[in-house]
Structure 1
Amino acid sequence: MKLIICMFIVLISAKECDKNKAQLASQNNTEAIATGSSEKQMQNDSKITYLAVSRGYFLTVVLEGDTIIFSNERDLKSAIAHEIPKEEKESLMNLISKLDAKTLPELEAPSKAHEYDGAAIATLEIADGENSYKTVSFDHGNPPESIKAIVEKMLSIKTMIEKQ
């Protein structure tokens, strides 16, 4: 009897896993189609990702092509995508052009509150085609000085779009 019950539970679990995989696959295809159209338009543009995470906080802001995508949920189900105003994008690209992306992994965090749950852990990643450069972890709200203007600009664009 125990063997029959165990087999029944295993079959139900396998069925649920297949259903979850199918949902994730369809969601990933939808996201790929949505971002694929903007990638085709702006293939030469870089992808800039800001991520801030703690136990009770999550924020991701991705700028790719002429689009900004942001979410406050880890599963990204409520990700919001908008077109970036031309002036804001030019301003951000001007800031990024002044930065040597190769130096990002070498930056030092100005404070270490993220190491003891005093602040969310944040990173900035810049990818341009085949190369990707990511900062070391730093406190959300207190980025290294050389990327501070970029992080603030990304967050201000996000806030401006949220208010619309």
Structure 2
Amino acid sequence: MKLIICVLLMLISTKDCDKNKAQLTSENVSEATTTESSNWKMQKGMKINYRAVTRGSYLEIWIEGDSIKYTSDNTLKAISTHQIPKEEKEDLMKLIDELDEKTLPDLEAPSIRHQFDGAAIATLEITNGEDSYRTVAFDHGNAPKSIALLVEKMLSIKTMFEKQ
């Protein structure tokens, strides 16, 4: 009789342990999936391109995976490439996660100085796999509110490497 009770207690306790273990595992997987999905979004085919052009100047910045490329050469012969530091990449990922790239074509430029050579014509394009979304033209230095922080972050990362 004691043997049967001991076996039953062991079965019940192992079932509870397995249940708790499965619950902890599923929580960890969902937490990891959330973190990985944002990293996956950036690393698996997402490209961000910022371009500011006027008659006398040219600036293009590409962010792809863990690297940033930029040039002020409109022939694209002199391109600088750097690895983005982990802290900067995390900040960039937060900004990207907050952005809905499908709304980019619908954004309105806050000013129109670019239409009469008062500012460089800037655009931001996000390519995610086969889908590509581009903003309308806006003034370099005066991006629409929803992308302003992302554009500023890209420019600050570029400036950080230029100073080195």
Q: Which interval holds the TM-score relative to the shorter structure?
A: 0.7 to 0.9
Unaligned runs of 5+ in 2: 1-41
Task: Provide the C-alpha distance between the structure 2 equivalents of 1:96 and 1:132, rounded to a whole number of angstroms.
Answer: 15
Unaligned runs of 5+ in 1: 1-41
**Residues 31-110 of structure 1 mapped to structure 2, 5 A cutoff:** 44-110=44-110
**Residues 3-18 of structure 1 mapped to structure 2, 5 A cutoff:** none
Match of 2:7 in 1: none
Residue type of the partner of 1:55? R
Deviation, structure 1 residue 125:
0.5
Match of 2:143 in 1: 143
Instruction: Tell me the TM-score normalized by structure 1.
Output: 0.73
Task: Provide the C-alpha distance between the structure 1 equivalents of 2:102 and 2:127, rounded to a whole number of angstroms.
Answer: 10
Instruction: Tell me the TM-score normalized by structure 2.
Output: 0.73
Deviation, structure 1 residue 113:
0.3
State the secondary structure of the residue aligned to 1:88: helix
Larger C-alpha radius of gyration, 1 or 2? 2
| Conserved 8 A contact 2:48-2:64 | yes
Deviation, structure 1 residue 100:
0.5
RMSD value, Cα: 1.1
Deviation, structure 1 residue 45:
4.5
Identity %: 63
State the secondary structure of the residue aligned to 1:102: helix
